[in-house]
Amino acid sequence: MASIESMTASPPASSALSSLPAIPSLDPRAPVGIFDSGLGGLSVLRAVRAQLPNEAIIYVADSLYAPYGERDDDFIADRTLAIGEWLVAQGAKALVVACNTATAQSIALVREKLPIQLIGVEPGVKPAALQSRSRVAGVLATQVTLRSARFQALLERHAADCRFLCQPGHGLVQAVERCDIGSPELRALLESYIQPMLDAGADTLVLGCTHYPFLDAAIRDIAGDRLTLIDTSIAIARQLERVLDQQGLSSPGRDAAPQPRFCSTSDGAHLRQLAATLLQIDAPVERVHIPSRRTAATDSHAA
């Protein structure tokens, strides 16, 4: 079972979320918002559609400002809140923050500010520690995720006697964002990250960024069956299902699965390409303008 960060349907009475008013217009047929700094959250969207085929989805890629892994903490929190507020305005009944970096740096702030249920994602340290037989596991994640207090707390809680080798995946998000999931250059970069883990005896690899499941085939070409890959996408979809059930917000049956609504703060060309290539969804992408405190001037100029 993968490790996730969730604002469940019954938060503690002292939490900020519990003091927020309910949104009277919430309807079971309202969409679920899924947000990522770019295209990585499509791995979560894929799992959500498989688990919850009746749910309408609005997917937002903040590709104009990706990757978040190279941004400062205030910038990440600023963008996460702005996009969460935009999705609430679009009628979203729940929000999946499908970005490890945004969850690590922003989930507490967003929990206080938004009046809908949130589900975030964090690297699967716990399942990796449970599964590793060699007691050595690798973690591939962004530098921001690895340095975050949330990640360090995960290691303290769940690592136990398992040694975790933490590797920043510099360049991997950018590769996925340009739809490169198997070039010789990408494979060489991945090998430089993964081979030292194998040499150290790792038998498990945590994919600590939602972009990385799209590199699954390339990783397996390098590691063969020597690494068990830990991907949190399925666990996130199952947690979303539980939260919606608890809130009475699960969508009723539909004649056909709704087509996701794709939105991007950039031109959306790569989003459409990756959705078509990896999800077999050929759909238009709306370019949306979502200003925030840190980017208002830039967004206005870009618009």
Give the pLDDT of residue 301: 53
For the domain made up of 125-232, give the CATH fold. Answer: Rossmann fold (3.40.50)
Q: Residue 56 half-sphere exposure, CB side, CA atoms within 13 Å? A: 16
For the domain made up of 4-16+27-122+234-302, give the CATH fold. Answer: Rossmann fold (3.40.50)
100 known ligand binder? yes
State the pairing for strand pair 4-6/117-121: antiparallel
Which two structure tokens, joined as six digits, stand for 230?
A: 């830990």
Q: Dump pLDDT digits (tens) for 48-87.
A: 999 999 999 999 999 999 999 889 999 999 999 999 999 9
Residues 53, 259: Cα–Cα separation, whole Å: 10
How many other CB atoms are there within 10 angstroms of residue 158's CB atom? Answer: 17
270 known ligand binder? no
36 known ligand binder? yes
267 known ligand binder? no
Q: Dump pLDDT digits (tens) for 218-256.
A: 999 999 999 999 998 989 999 999 999 999 999 998 888
| 58 backbone dihedrals φ, ψ, rounded to 5° | -110, 120
- Catalytic pick among 99, 162, 166, 263: 99
192 known ligand binder? no
| Per-domain residue ranges of the chain | 4-16+27-122+234-302, 125-232
DSSP labels, 202-252: --EEEE-STTGGGGHHHHHHHHTTS-EEE--HHHHHHHHHHHHHHHT-PPP
Q: What is the mean pLDDT of residues 256-260?
A: 91
Q: Dump pLDDT digits (tens) for 116-162.
A: 999 999 899 999 999 999 999 999 999 999 999 999 999 999 998 99
- Catalytic pick among 162, 166, 209, 263: 209
**95 neighbors 87 (Cβ within 8 angstroms):** yes
Which two structure tokens, joined as six digits, stand for 296?
A: 């208002």
Give 88's contacts (C-beta < 8 A, 6+ positions apart): 23, 33, 95, 114, 115, 116
* Residue whose structure tokens are 């009628």: 91
Residues 14, 238: Cα–Cα separation, whole Å: 26
DSSP labels, 181-198: SS-HHHHHHHHHHHHHHH
Q: Dump pLDDT digits (tens) for 86-111.
A: 999 999 999 999 999 999 989 888 98
* Residue whose structure tokens are 């490890």: 100
Q: What is the DSSP letter of 261?
A: E
221 known ligand binder? no
Residues 288, 286: Cα–Cα separation, whole Å: 6
Give the pLDDT of residue 11: 33
Shortest CA distance to 95 belongs to which of 75, 78, 81? 81
211 known ligand binder? yes
Give the pLDDT of residue 25: 60
Same fold, 4-16+27-122+234-302 and 125-232: yes
* Residue 5 pLDDT greater than 90, yes or no: no
Cα angle 43, 211, 161; round to 5: 100
Cα angle 26, 37, 203; round to 5: 110
Residue 99 known to be catalytic: yes
69 known ligand binder? yes
Residues 143, 140: Cα–Cα separation, whole Å: 9
Question: What long-range pairs does 255-259 form, CB within 8 A, spacing at least 24?
Answer: 257/49, 257/53, 257/54, 258/54, 258/55, 258/56, 258/57, 259/283
Residue 162 known to be catalytic: no
